Amino acid sequence: MSGQTSDYNSIKISGSLKNDVLLFKEIFKKDSVLRIKNIKTGILGGLDCVMMYMDGMVDPSRLNESVVKPLLVMKSPLKDENTAEYIEKQVLFACDVKRNDSVGKIIESVLYGEALLLIDGSTEAVVIDAKGWRTRGISEPSEEKVLEGPREGFDEAALLNVAMVRRKLQTPDFCAEMQRVGRRTATIVFVCYLGSLADSKTVAEVKRRISKIDIDGILDSNYITEQIRDGKYSLFKTVGTTERPDVVAAKLLEGRIAVIVDGTPVVLTVPYLFSESFQSDEDYYLNFLISSAGRILRYICFFLSVSIPAVFIALSTFHKDLLPTSLAIAVAQLRGGVPFSPFTECIIMIFVFEILKETGVRMPQSLGHALSIVGGLVVGQAAVEARIISTPMLIVIALSGISGLMIPRLRGAVFYLRLIFVILAALFGLYGFFAGITVTVMHIVSLTSFGTDYTVSLRKAGFQSLKDTFWRAPWPLMKKRPEFNRNITRQSEGKK
């Protein structure tokens, strides 16, 4: 045996209580949290049973009240009646109970927090749902805070996360299909969607890609993201992520599919479009004029963040004649005495900014704020006064870095594109920069997300296709869903 639960699927419960108990003791012989409780039922003469569970994963009081007590006072089944079936249907009412004879499936249940009841003389075991592990609790995600709107975020327990989404979508149309992924972890993964909206081919493709994953363990949703996404080596996300139930509910109402992974609060959503990278969670909770202004700013900041350093390098190195005379003189004067070329200076500043940003994120919150102030003001000012870095370059990198903070979903892409464009501008001037822009646009247009064009919302120059891209239209005008839905009507025209 290799230690995987699937290795035991061919083994069945023997019906001999002694042998079955020894089998499970052998399987869990090095697991100190397995608890074994002997029970003699209230049947005349007593029927020997053994209950097993993992300590810390079940609710002991629930087991005592809903399982042990009913067993102690149960009546004898009929002679020709299956004992396990009798206990399931007529003795244990307060818990979700099912019978199983596969040792592999029973092990999966026990490891997921369910209790096992072995009955002497029965070739079926009774599996009792009595989960009782502790969770972190519902709180607002630290990375997705909003000024207005719901304040709840997902937990690490997949069942709780599904329940939080179901509470917002109280319809039988809501589907949550379970799969197990990982040879050793057997992690539970739920594929959630609305049956009347989500495209059936896309749903089947999501489940197919997940089922093909062959890996020892799944500890976070990113394990799945990197194996099911389109454009595996692209800088741009083709699978969405969120920790907010309201965002997942909104995505499902647009015909998308959510993948909820046990053990992580991060939920995946597909298909994912390029325009979603510029949307904020609170865009739909604020006035549409305010939301639209913020969204337009994010598009502008994306362009500024990846282009400002490259354009500055190109103009100061190859195309000085394009600068106004007074500005060119001022830049030349401020660069006097700086030992590095503009390109070297720019690369150094980009990496210093990223180091300060990452350090501020990883450190405790109070120290992170202090570090950002020290790094941004003291170090920057000292570098300029020491003539190590020129003032124009410091301004350019600071503006580029601050603009990039407006679009956290494209943080990785912004960093790499900024570097690539700077290198191209240093080699070929504005010609290299525009060549890089062209290749990037072509790459974005060529991407897909589970069969859906990555830029489908930008390709058709009409109000309906652009109502939730560059701006957020008022709700009365957002009558249609995205085109990849089975039903694109979001709301009717209304009664007059």
**How confident is the model over 72-128, as pLDDT tens digits?**
877 777 666 678 888 877 788 767 888 888 888 888 888 888 888 888 888 888 888
- Of 245, 272, 299, the position where a domain reaches its end is 272
Let me know whether 241 and 331 are in one domain. Answer: no
From residue 435, alpha-carbon distances to 98, 129, 323, 432, 454 in Å are 63, 60, 21, 5, 21
Three-class secondary structure of residue 281 per DSSP = coil
Residue type, 242: T
Let me know whether 262 and 314 are in one domain. Answer: no
- Of 90, 109, 129, the position where a domain reaches its end is 129
Residue 281 lies in a domain: no
The rounded Cα 44 to chain-centroid distance in angstroms is 55
Residue 222 lies in a domain: yes
Domains held by the chain: number: 3
Q: End-to-end distance of the chain based on CA atoms, in angstroms?
A: 71
Let me know whether 256 and 310 are in one domain. Answer: no
Calpha distance 141→146 (Å, rounded): 9
Q: Which residues of the chain have pLDDT under 50?
A: 1, 495-496
Let me know whether 83 and 184 are in one domain. Answer: no
Residue 458 lies in a domain: no
Residue 123: predicted pLDDT: 87
Residue 124 lies in a domain: yes
Let me know whether 75 and 31 are in one domain. Answer: yes
Calpha distance 117→127 (Å, rounded): 6
Calpha distance 61→33 (Å, rounded): 17
Let me know whether 101 and 177 are in one domain. Answer: no
Let me know whether 71 and 113 are in one domain. Answer: yes
Q: Are 206 and 228 in contact (CB under 8 A)?
A: yes
Let me know whether 183 and 231 are in one domain. Answer: yes
Residue 430 lies in domain: 288-449
Q: Which pTM does this prediction carry?
A: 0.83
Q: What is the pLDDT of residues 381-404, one digit of tens each?
A: 777 777 787 888 888 888 898 888
Let me know whether 295 and 360 are in one domain. Answer: yes
Let me know whether 356 and 265 are in one domain. Answer: no
Helix (H) or strand (E) holding 21, with range, is helix 17-27
Residue 308: predicted pLDDT: 92
- Of 272, 301, 321, the position where a domain reaches its end is 272
Let me know whether 264 and 380 are in one domain. Answer: no
Residue 445 lies in a domain: yes
Residue 368 lies in a domain: yes
Let me know whether 267 and 293 are in one domain. Answer: no
Residue 491 lies in a domain: no
Residue 325 lies in a domain: yes
Among 415, 398, 395, residue whose Cα is nearest residue 316: 395
